[in-house]
């Protein structure tokens, strides 16, 4: 099976709680290769552009506000079946609906502050990795 790329973002709540190492360890134990990782502070413009697909939805403004509330960590990941496997690893968007042992079930407080972003399709995985990383930043 060919490898796929997916983007993880350790969201501001993850960084604020100091859970980056624990979450990254779980990602690596699940067989993902880290191609690139950095800690950044999103501007409203950058967060708005990244989440533009959600513009006009009721949660959009709150999402942009949350994602700009503190540092976050985009991580470019690769493995076979990366998108589906990562979404299984992180669990449902709402932690109360997430399966036991998933990252969101273990660490997230609520649907709005749910620790981690994951790409929703292989195509979006490639697009999202490219949003945060140039080719020269990926190893």
State mean pLDDT over 22-38. Answer: 98
* pLDDT reading at 95 higher than 90: yes
Q: pLDDT category, 1, cuts 50, 70, 90?
A: confident
- Positions annotated as catalytic residues are 117
Q: Which domains does the chain have, with CATH numbers?
A: 3-132 (3.30.70.141)
Q: Please, are residues 101 and 75 in contact by the beta-carbon 8 Å criterion?
A: no
State mean pLDDT over 31-52. Answer: 97
* CB atoms closer than 10 angstroms to residue 80: 11
Measured distance CA(102)–CA(62) in Å, rounded? 24
Distance of CA 34 to CAs 7, 8, 29, Å?
Answer: 10, 10, 11
Tell me, yes or no, if the pTM score tops 0.75. yes
């Amino acid at each position: 099976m060919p490898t796929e790329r997916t983007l993880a973002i350790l969201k501001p709540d993850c960084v604020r709680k100091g859970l980056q190492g624990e979450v990254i360890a779980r990602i690596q134990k699940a067989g993902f290769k880290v191609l690139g990782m950095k800690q950044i502070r999103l501007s409203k413009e950058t967060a708005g552009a990244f989440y533009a697909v959600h513009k006009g939805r009721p949660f959009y403004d709150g999402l942009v506000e949350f994602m700009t509330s503190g540092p976050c960590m985009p991580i470019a990941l690769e493995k076979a079946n990366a998108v589906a496997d990562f979404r299984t690893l992180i669990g449902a968007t709402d932690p109360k609906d997430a399966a036991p042992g998933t990252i969101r079930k273990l660490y997230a407080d609520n649907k709005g502050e749910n620790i981690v972003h994951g790409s929703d399709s292989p195509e979006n995985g490639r697009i999202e990795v490219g949003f945060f990383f140039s080719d020269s930043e990926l190893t």
